[in-house]
Amino acid sequence: MTIHENIFPYGGGDCTQALQGAMEVSAASRTQLVLGPGIYHCGALRLPAGLDLHLKAGAILRFSSDVAAYAQNRVDVIAESSDIAMMVANNASGIRLSGEGSIEAPGADFIVGRLEDMGTHIPAATRPRVLVLEGCDDIVLESFSIRSSPMWTIHLIACRQVRVERLSIDNDREMPNTDGIVIDSCQDVTIRDCDIATADDGVVLKTSAGPDGKAVGVCRDILVEHCRVESRSCALKIGTETHGDVENVTFRDCEIRHSNRAIGLFSRDGGHIRNIVGQRIRLDAHETPDGFWGSGEAITVNVVDRRAEKPAGRIENIVFEDIEGTMEGAVNLVADGGAGISDVRFTRMAIKQVAGPYHGHKYDVRPTHFDLAPSPDAAGRANAWIKDENGNVIGLVPYPGGMPALFSMNVEGLSLDDVQFSRPSPLPDGWNEEAIDVRDGEPRIWS
């Protein structure tokens, strides 16, 4: 031990109060607090400014399954019905969490049933997020692992100067709303060399609304690189909450494994999405049951107005280059909202399109205005799906003329340079004979 290091004593039992006190003392004295090998049982923790918490290999921070334990850890930005978290920091600077240890969340204890037809667990209505940092700056998260989150795993809200490196996130692949890293209204964020596997979005950028209904802020200057992501929803995503602008974002040198959607840009709430780059991405996109958004799409970009009083913002200046891999769906570009999509360039893209197990042959425009009101049969997933009178999920749309490899509707300034799709021969039933289907002047249906 050095003079800059404090060892937290391992004694078994619940250590919430003792650990909270040790964090405050260490932060105030600017010394590193170290958790050695062992299991540390705890409830809600609040991370003070200046905290340097190190989890050594073999250290397990195991959180309580009692939702009441987190009653004081309230969060202003509500996710689904969640307004609590296991660990919270508010308006704090200079926080560092590091080490080869792990954080174990009680995700399995928040499963209350199962929906076989949708392929998901039924989650409890109230679930805590694992780590929420709100209004913080100069943040470093590195090298530790998080397992079994019951809700969003890491949620960064209105933070600046954040570096996340070499994290491992491993969640139940059938537990809804277990997004890996949520970058919400943040600026100057780097996510690098992380491994993320989850049922919901892997790395997702959004601009949520605060308690006053206004955008929390803008999301800009974001870099995600050298990450490996597995998602039953969308691996690398922008949206759907877009109350403020999202701009200057780069996804590069990432591998997307066995995911539903690989890359997705979704405009819904008035904020504009612009200056987005996807470079050197290798992807593997598979169909999933209707309970998960998407349908095996390599790339999805769409604009849909879901509130008449707040039309979706424009998506513009988008570049995808050096993209390769396999998909069971298609590349979908759908401008249904009036703001539209413009200046989208694909360069050096080579994707193999193969038949999937569900033969869905549909593109997905969820969420729409139909999904704003909680569905009585959504079972803990209030915005997941609404079914029509025939039992079909609203927002899953059959491709006109069958499924192509690339479907574009009402996109201005679409550029395709060295774009190649490998398709089976003969084509499966329900596939479009044309690999690329570009349509202009199509009527707005969902906005």
Provide the token pair at 154: 């890491």
Helix (H) or strand (E) holding 20: helix 16-29
Residue 156, both tokens: 């960064």
pTM of the model: 0.96
3-class DSSP state of 337 = coil
pLDDT given for residue 81 in this prediction: 83
Parallel/antiparallel/unpaired status of strands 228-231 and 246-259? parallel
Nearest to 396 by CA among 334, 352, 338: 334
DSSP per-residue codes, 275-289:
EEEEEEEEEEE----
Spatial distance between the Cα atoms of 244 and 74, rounded to a whole number of angstroms: 23
Q: What is the pLDDT along the chain (447 residues), one digit of tens a residue?
A: 444 789 999 888 999 999 999 999 999 999 999 999 999 999 999 999 999 999 999 999 999 999 999 999 999 998 888 999 999 999 999 999 999 999 999 999 999 999 887 788 999 989 999 999 999 999 999 999 999 999 999 999 999 999 999 999 999 999 999 999 999 999 999 999 999 999 999 999 999 999 999 999 999 999 999 999 999 999 999 999 999 999 999 999 999 999 999 999 999 999 999 999 999 999 999 998 876 788 899 999 999 999 989 999 999 999 999 999 999 999 999 999 999 999 999 999 999 999 999 877 899 999 888 877 655 555 555 556 788 888 888 888 999 999 999 999 999 999 999 999 999 999 999 999 999 999 999 999 998
Strand partners, 319: 277, 345
Nearest residue to 411 (alpha-carbon basis) of 302, 309, 327: 302
Q: Per this entry, what is the length of the chain?
A: 447
Pairing of strands 195-198, 228-231: parallel
CA distances (Å), 127 to each of 67, 82, 83, 202, 246, in order?
Answer: 7, 6, 8, 19, 28
Peptide bond before residue 240 is cis, with ω within 30 degrees of 0: yes
Please identify which residue in the block is written with the tokens 């991405």.
281
